[in-house]
Chains A and B, each alone.
Chain A
Amino acid sequence: MRGFPHTVYHRAMIILSSTSGSPADISSGPAEDYSYANLTGSSEFDFVGIAPIRSERQVLKTYFSSVAVLEQWELSQNYQELGEALNEMAALEGADEWRIEPSVYHAASYVAAKLREDSVPAPQIFTHGPESVVFNWSDDNNDNLYLTISANEISALISSPERITQRIDYSASQFLNPSHLLPFAHLGRPIILISRSDTDLPELIE
Chain B
Amino acid sequence: MNEWKALNGRITLFPTVPVPAPLPSAFELYRRVWGGDPDNYQKQANALLPTVAQGTRNGIAVQLVSQPARIDFSLSPPPAPGAITPSIDLIENTSQFHAELTRIIDVLAKGAISNPVLRVALGVQFVSLKTDVIETNKTLMAVMPVPYRVKLTDEQDFVFQINRPQVSSRVESIRMNFVTTWRAQRLQVVNFTILAAGMPVSASKDTSLAQPHPEVKEFIAASVSFDNNNVPAGPLTSSQQSELLLEGIARVETGQREIGLNIEEF
Contact = CB atoms under 8 A, between A and B. Distances in A.
Judge: A and B partners, yes or no: yes
Contact of A106 (B21, B49, B63, B212): B21
Given A7-B188, A15-B199, A65-B157, A29 B69 contact: no
Which applies to chain A's interface (DSSP): helix, strand, loop or mixed?
mixed
B103 to A, nearest CB: 19
B130 interface: no
Contacts, number: 232
Interface residues of A, number: 84
Interface stretch (A37-45, A138-146, A156-164, A183-191): A37-45
B255 interface: no
Interface in B147-177: 156-157, 163, 165, 175, 177
Given A87-B47, A90-B47, A177-B232, 17 more contacts: A5-B186, A5-B187, A8-B189, A9-B88, A11-B189, A12-B193, A14-B193, A14-B195, A15-B204, A40-B79, A86-B48, A103-B21, A112-B48, A151-B20, A172-B17, A199-B163, A204-B70
Interface string A89-104: 0100000000000111
Interface of B: 8, 12, 15-22, 38-42, 46-50, 52, 54-56, 61, 63, 65, 67-70, 72, 76, 78-84, 86, 88, 118, 121, 133, 156-157, 163, 165, 175, 177, 179, 183, 185-199, 203-206, 208-209, 212, 218, 227, 229, 231-235
Q: Which are the 10 A-B pairs with shortest beta-carbon distances?
A: A103-B20, A83-B48, A107-B18, A110-B18, A5-B188, A42-B39, A83-B46, A113-B69, A86-B47, A52-B40
A50 interface: yes
Given A40-B78, A116-B48, A198-B177, A110 B205 contact: no
18 contacts: A3-B186, A4-B186, A11-B189, A11-B190, A12-B194, A15-B209, A30-B204, A38-B83, A52-B41, A52-B42, A109-B48, A113-B48, A172-B17, A175-B16, A177-B118, A199-B179, A202-B70, A206-B65
